[in-house]
Amino acid sequence: MARFILRRLLVIVPMLLVVVSLTWGLIRVAPGNFYSGEKKLPAAIEKNIREKYGLDKPWYVQYGRMLANTARGDFGESLKYPGTTVNSILATTLPVSATLGILAYLLALVVGITAGTIAALKQNSRVDYASMAAAMLGISMPNFVLGPTLVLLFALRWYWLPPARWDGFSLHLILPVLTLSAVYMAYIARLTRSGMLEVLRSNYIRTARAKGLTERDVVVRHAVRGGLLPVVSFSGPALAFLISGTVVVERIFALPGLGNYFINANLNRDEPLIIGIVAFMSIAVLLFNLLVDVAYAFFDPRIRY
Amino acid sequence: MATPSSSPAVPQAGAPGADAPVAGTSLWKDAVKRLRKNRLAVFGFVVVCLVVTASLVGPWIIERATGYTYDYIPTDPALVNAQPPFTAPDGSFSWLHPMGTDDAGRDILARVLLGGRISLMVGVISTFVSLIIGITVGATAGYVGGKVDEAIMRGVDVLYSIPYMMVVIVLLAFFGGRSAIGQLVLLFIALGAVSWLTMARIVRGQVMSLKSQEFILAARATGVPASRIILRHLVPNTLGPVIVYATLTIPSVMLLESFLSFLGLGVQAPLASWGSLAADGIQNIAVFPWQLICPGLTMAVTLFSLNFLGDGLRDALDPQMRKG
Report the half-sphere exposure of A38 (CA within 13 A, side-chain side).
Answer: 0
**pTM, to two decimals:** 0.81
B169 close contact with A: CB closer than 8 A: yes
Mutation site, B37, B40, B165, B166, interface A, largest A CB count within 10 A: B166
Query: Searching chain A, which residue's CA lies closest to the CA of residue B293?
Result: A145
Of B173, B275, B293, the CB nearest to A149: B293
Query: Searching chain A, which residue's CA lies closest to the CA of residue B252?
Result: A140
List chain B residues with CB under 8 Å of A15: 158, 161
- Quote the CA–CA distance of A155 and A286 in Å, as a whole number: 38
* SS3 assignment, position A77: strand
- Quote the CA–CA distance of B234 and B213 in Å, as a whole number: 10
Cβ distance of A22 and B162 shorter than 8 Å: yes
pLDDT of B2 reads: 39
Cβ distance of A252 and B263 shorter than 8 Å: no
Among B75, B78, B96, which residue's Cα sits nearest to residue B87? Answer: B96
- Quote the CA–CA distance of B73 and B58 in Å, as a whole number: 16
pLDDT of B110 reads: 82
ipTM attached to this prediction: 0.80
Are B254 and B122 a contacting pair, CB within 8 Å? Answer: yes
- Quote the CA–CA distance of B71 and B111 in Å, as a whole number: 8
Judged by average pLDDT, the poorest of A59-73, A220-234, A254-268, B24-38 is B24-38
Cβ distance of A197 and B176 shorter than 8 Å: no
List chain A residues with CB under 8 Å of B275: 142, 144
Say whether pLDDT at B319 is over 60.
no
Of B306, B311, B324, the CB nearest to A197: B324
List chain B residues with CB under 8 Å of A11: none
> What stretches of chain B adopt beta strand conformation (E)?
none
DSSP type of residue B162: S
Query: Searching chain B, which residue's CA lies closest to the CA of residue A201?
Result: B324
DSSP type of residue B6: S
List chain A residues with CB under 8 Å of B323: 197, 201
List chain A residues with CB under 8 Å of B167: 26
Of A22, A142, A285, the CB nearest to B258: A142
The dihedral through the CA atoms of B78, B79, B85, B86 has a sign that is positive
- The tens digit of pLDDT for each residue in A197-245 reads 888 888 888 888 888 888 888 888 888 888 888 888 888 888 888 887 7
List chain A residues with CB under 8 Å of B166: 23, 26, 262, 266, 274, 278
- Quote the CA–CA distance of B184 and B268 in Å, as a whole number: 8
- Quote the CA–CA distance of A288 and A291 in Å, as a whole number: 5
Judged by average pLDDT, the poorest of B39-53, B95-109, B239-253, B296-310 is B95-109
Mean of pLDDT values over B2-21 = 43
B266 close contact with A: CB closer than 8 A: no
- The tens digit of pLDDT for each residue in A58-106 reads 888 888 888 888 888 888 888 888 888 888 888 888 888 888 999 999 9
Please report, as a single letter, which amino acid is at residue A14. Answer: P
Query: Searching chain B, which residue's CA lies closest to the CA of residue A33?
Result: B173
Say whether pLDDT at B252 is over 80.
yes
Among B197, B196, B194, B200, which residue's Cα sits nearest to residue B139? Answer: B200
Q: Vertex B181, ends B176 and B187: CA angle to 5°?
A: 60
pLDDT of B10 reads: 40
Of A140, A156, A252, the CB nearest to B304: A140
Query: Searching chain A, which residue's CA lies closest to the CA of residue B308?
Result: A136
pLDDT band at B133 (very low <50, low <70, confident <90, very high): very high
Per DSSP, what are the bridge partners of residue B87? Answer: B93
Cβ distance of B161 and A285 shorter than 8 Å: yes
Query: Searching chain A, which residue's CA lies closest to the CA of residue B301?
Result: A140
pLDDT of B243 reads: 82
Per DSSP, what are the bridge partners of residue A77? Answer: A85
Mutation site, B112, B162, B299, B323, interface A, largest A CB count within 10 A: B162
